[in-house]
Structure 1
């Protein structure tokens, strides 16, 4: 593991960590209702959860109108419906994975399918058993598409499943599971999870704990890497209800700081964050965001942010 980390550059270049602070609204915002997590594929097609109307939408590169790819406006528990979807992931074969929050399941939609199949959880069944969720939120697949990691927010744990699992299959607790708390062997409302295959680390946002924790799957304890544990704040070393996160090839960490209405970047081994989008004040101007729920980078490292309370997606161009 240490050799893998040493072989990677430790710091991103100054040029790469600057973005235009003025955002551009992309797509037809009238089609969005509380936009959440974003995924951008290799063709720069943007996929987004619109959880207010229980849909997954996509926006082709340089187009205006979103296209419905999963779900319908009514919401529900049928195989072609969601009930407030939260996380999404697209695998190498363009199969779509969606965490279906109030149905307590993860749905897999094969490419082009009109309905999904439950591969984790039991539809309509909430609980702490190994085959149940209590609020699945963020999810992430490893680089081989073998394992799926799911943030089980109200059970305060990260679950791992095979991507070919079926409904009711038992998962494995790989982080947390020791009750809600801010100790290094606990999680506190984990919202998002990112698995770094090179280092074998899970990066997890503790929304209730105001911090990001780094955890080796199955380890007894972990290390906090961003935020001040258990304390909400607005300074560079604080987070307030962090939601989504990602890690770049240089091990720099990016976090959507929801209640501070900003996106923070924590350079490698640095506990102070740099604001790269938003200004810390909730608003609807082009330099502001209001409740960023998810974000993603395209192939040019342009930043796209789901500006949830403004019902829009903002693009911040990399300089």
Structure 2
């Protein structure tokens, strides 16, 4: 994610062409399709993009230029059990702990989920209408709330 040390000036030059990493396919539940794309995180080191698909309550990982994603979190139905998401809206990767940190809006919580073979979430924050998230270089987490125009700092 872009953090506060990034400086964008008025005279900055942008690259005029880009590359599509993942094309949104037609609506569907299979891993080559999406429901509703919300937040995403680009892992430049591993050349992966993690995408929150809130319609199907999942996070899907895509290798750059692939035609099909890999289920990372979710696909266990809608609910509040330890192996379920309800409305994943944003995520970041905590590489130090090899985990995803996911804002689950309808459950009003922020959860940590192991990136490798994760089956259960750890609740980090309860009672938050999380909308966006980021992590600074010290590992401190920051979250914004949907309706309150507030930010939270979790250390």
TM-score (norm 1): 0.44
Verify: 1:112 aligned to 2:16, yes or no.
yes
Distance 1:43 1:251 in 2: 17
Shift of the alpha carbon at 1:171?
0.6
Shift of the alpha carbon at 1:42?
6.4
SS in structure 2 of the partner of residue 198 of structure 1: helix
Aligned to 2:124: 225
Runs of 4+ in 1 over 6 A off after TM superposition: none
RMSD over aligned Cα atoms: 2.5
SS in structure 1 of the partner of residue 2 of structure 2: strand
Distance 1:129 1:152 in 2: 12
Residue 7 of structure 2, aligned match among 41, 44, 52: 44
Gaps of 5+ in 1: 1-37, 46-59, 70-110, 228-237, 268-319
Distance 2:135 2:21 in 1: 28
Aligned to 1:246: 134
Aligned to 1:260: 148
1:78-227 → structure 2 map (5 Å cutoff) = 111-113=15-17, 117=20, 119-122=22-25, 125-165=26-66, 169-217=67-115, 218-227=117-126
Gaps of 5+ in 2: none
Change (3 A) 1:129 1:177: same
Shift of the alpha carbon at 1:138?
0.9
Shift of the alpha carbon at 1:119?
2.0
TM-score (norm 2): 0.86
Change (3 A) 1:196 1:188: same
Decide whether the 8 Å contact of 2:21 with 2:64 is kept in 1. no
Shift of the alpha carbon at 1:251?
3.1
Change (3 A) 1:41 1:262: closer
Distance 1:246 1:43 in 2: 13
Decide whether the 8 Å contact of 1:143 with 1:197 is kept in 2. no
Change (3 A) 1:183 1:137: same
Higher helix proportion: 1
Shift of the alpha carbon at 1:179?
1.4
